[in-house]
């Protein structure tokens, strides 16, 4: 993976870096997204705009709202339409717009959102995202997917093209490193009934089972028992495994028992500077063997690698939060940044997820429950699936 990164970066100037950042930004958002401003109305409206992105396999529709809303599916798409009733918000009567991907058109009437489908689709999931990370409005998200994840024939015209059976080439298994926080002599935060180290290990095992069951991943654990593993060693494990993704599982603690919710951390700017300083004086992260030779070239390539990795980490963090928000409450400003040691690898996208607060009766009960743990890790697994599906689509363009 590192060789591929360095080969791709070689010769990049400022323009190349700008292009790289544009690509990463598209991956984080909607690709070639279609954005429609809500139609003007004589009365105030909570619908600020409608955004669409995706293709004939998966399409995402995002309603930017001025306040929180709850939705109820009235029609699931079996008749060529998805109809969702939105309560607690004012919608502009008669607003409509062109679609994209699986959506032909959308319209609003009588407090309902109607999505006319361009081809067969199901509602894969819906969720509400609160304001966070500079976004001041709520976002009601609707994800549509073609049956079995494959593009379907148009609803208006049956396809008469002959079907040709093609045996697809098996894709390379992605390497996922799961880091169960703390362990051994380091118990982590103390809850009423359990320690953080036990919660994280149980969650890591559940996530490993979920990923391996799909057959698409090779999973590496930084620890699979109650042992102490130094933070630097956890990073080494990820780099030696040539990991495609590193996810560190933790449980938070606070003085106020009412404080609860999940949050996700990615590497901060100061953390990236710290990684550079560490590598300049110690080789525990990587050997200084850069193509092209020379300290200056190495520094430039390291900076490019870190920037690309930070972008991919942020992309996964946003995808992760969207999925887990269906299973648990999110902490305000749920996407945060820090200079944690386990996030320092410059060429491995990494996140640290605080699954909740062990000092919160609500969160602790969910985290120690086998059902609650499985549901949350299933959501994490779904986020990983979506993240790599997006990476494959971006690479194929």
Q: CATH number, domain at 48?
A: 2.60.40.3500
Judgement on whether residues 51 and 109 belong to the same structural domain of the protein: yes
Structure tokens at 196: 């953080």
Last residue of some domain: 92, 119, 149? 149
Residue the block writes with tokens 């999931």? 125
Task: Please report whether residue 157 resides in a domain.
Answer: no
Task: Please report whether residue 158 resides in a domain.
Answer: no
Judgement on whether residues 242 and 344 belong to the same structural domain of the protein: yes
Task: Please report whether residue 281 resides in a domain.
Answer: yes
Phi, psi of 295 (to 5 degrees): -65, -40
What is the distance between the alpha carbons of residues 147 and 120, in angstroms, rounded to a whole number?
Answer: 7
- What was the pLDDT predicted at 276? 56
The total number of structural domains in the chain stands at: 2
Listing DSSP states for 48-105 in one string gives: EEEEEEE-SSEEEEEEEESS--EEEEEEESTTSEEEEEEESS---TT-EEE--TTEEE
- What was the pLDDT predicted at 239? 87
Task: Please report whether residue 36 resides in a domain.
Answer: yes
Judgement on whether residues 138 and 86 belong to the same structural domain of the protein: yes
Judgement on whether residues 118 and 198 belong to the same structural domain of the protein: no
Judgement on whether residues 262 and 292 belong to the same structural domain of the protein: yes
Judgement on whether residues 208 and 231 belong to the same structural domain of the protein: yes
Helix, strand, coil shares, percent, the chain, to 5: 35, 30, 35
- What was the pLDDT predicted at 287? 40
Task: Please report whether residue 89 resides in a domain.
Answer: yes
What is the distance between the alpha carbons of residues 107 and 113, in angstroms, rounded to a whole number?
Answer: 6
Domain that holds residue 253: 2-25+171-396
Judgement on whether residues 234 and 310 belong to the same structural domain of the protein: yes
Q: Are 50 and 113 in contact (CB under 8 A)?
A: no
- What was the pLDDT predicted at 138? 87
Q: Are 202 and 373 in contact (CB under 8 A)?
A: yes
Q: What is the C-alpha R_g of the chain? A: 23
Q: Strands of the chain (E only): list them.
A: 34-37, 47-54, 58-65, 70-76, 81-87, 96-98, 103-109, 112-117, 122-129, 138-145, 174-180, 217-221, 245-252, 262-267, 330-338, 350-357
Judgement on whether residues 222 and 367 belong to the same structural domain of the protein: yes
Judgement on whether residues 133 and 281 belong to the same structural domain of the protein: no
- What was the pLDDT predicted at 298? 52
**Mean pLDDT, each 10-residue run in order, the chain (397 residues):** 40 39 37 42 73 86 89 86 90 89 91 92 82 78 76 46 53 91 96 94 97 94 96 90 95 93 89 58 43 51 72 93 94 90 87 96 95 96 91 50
Task: Please report whether residue 316 resides in a domain.
Answer: yes
CA 65 to chain centre: 21
Q: Are 324 and 291 in contact (CB under 8 A)?
A: no
Judgement on whether residues 130 and 190 belong to the same structural domain of the protein: no
Judgement on whether residues 176 and 120 belong to the same structural domain of the protein: no
What is the distance between the alpha carbons of residues 292 and 300, in angstroms, rounded to a whole number?
Answer: 11
Coil, strand or helix: which one is 290? coil
Task: Please report whether residue 160 resides in a domain.
Answer: no
Q: Are 318 and 28 in contact (CB under 8 A)?
A: yes
What CATH number is associated with residue 309?
Answer: 3.40.630.40
Listing DSSP states for 223-236 in one string gives: -SSS----HHHHHH
- What was the pLDDT predicted at 227? 97
Q: Which among 249, 297, 307, 323 is positioned nearest to 275, based on CA atoms? A: 307
Listing DSSP states for 294-322 in one string gives: SHHHHHHHHHHHHHHHHHHHHHHHHHHHH
Q: Are 249 and 210 in contact (CB under 8 A)?
A: no
Task: Please report whether residue 126 resides in a domain.
Answer: yes
- 342: number of Cβ within 10 Å: 23
Judgement on whether residues 388 and 291 belong to the same structural domain of the protein: yes
């Amino acid at each position: 993976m590192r060789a591929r990164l360095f080969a791709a970066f070689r010769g990049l100037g400022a323009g190349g870096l700008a292009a790289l950042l544009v690509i990463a930004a598209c991956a984080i958002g909607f690709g070639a997204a279609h954005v429609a401003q809500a139609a003007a109305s004589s009365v105030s409206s909570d619908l600020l705009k409608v955004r669409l992105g995706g293709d004939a396999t998966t399409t995402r529709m995002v309603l930017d709202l001025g306040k929180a809303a709850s939705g109820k599916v009235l029609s699931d798409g079996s008749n060529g339409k998805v109809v969702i009733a939105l309560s607690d918000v004012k919608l502009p009567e008669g607003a409509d717009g062109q679609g994209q991907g699986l959506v032909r058109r959308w319209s609003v009437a009588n407090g309902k959102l109607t999505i006319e489908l361009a081809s067969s689709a199901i509602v894969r999931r819906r969720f509400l995202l609160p304001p966070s990370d500079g976004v001041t409005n709520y976002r009601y998200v609707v994800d549509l997917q073609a049956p079995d994840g494959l593009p379907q024939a148009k609803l208006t015209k049956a396809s008469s093209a002959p079907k040709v059976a093609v045996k697809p080439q098996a894709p390379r298994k992605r390497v996922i490193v799961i880091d169960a926080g703390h362990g051994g002599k380091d118990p982590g935060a103390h809850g009423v009934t359990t320690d953080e180290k036990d919660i994280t290990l149980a969650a890591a095992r559940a996530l490993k089972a979920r990923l391996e069951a799909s057959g698409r991943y090779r999973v590496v654990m930084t620890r699979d028992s109650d042992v102490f593993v130094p933070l630097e060693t956890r990073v080494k494990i990820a780099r030696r495994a040539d990991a495609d993704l590193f996810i560190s599982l933790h449980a938070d603690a606070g003085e106020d028992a009412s404080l609860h919710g999940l949050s996700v951390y990615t590497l901060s700017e100061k953390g990236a500077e710290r990684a550079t300083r560490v590598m300049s004086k110690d080789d525990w992260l990587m050997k200084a063997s850069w193509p092209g030779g020379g300290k200056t070239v190495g520094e430039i390539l390291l900076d490019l690698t870190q920037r690309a990795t930070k972008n991919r980490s942020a992309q996964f963090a946003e995808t992760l939060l969207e999925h887990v928000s269906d299973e648990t409450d999110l902490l305000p400003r749920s996407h945060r940044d820090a200079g944690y040691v386990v996030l320092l690898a410059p060429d491995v996208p990494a996140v640290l997820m605080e699954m909740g607060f062990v000092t919160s009766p609500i969160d602790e009960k969910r985290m120690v429950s086998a059902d609650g743990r499985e549901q949350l890790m299933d959501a994490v697994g779904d986020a990983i699936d979506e993240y790599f599906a997006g990476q494959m689509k971006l690479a194929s363009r």
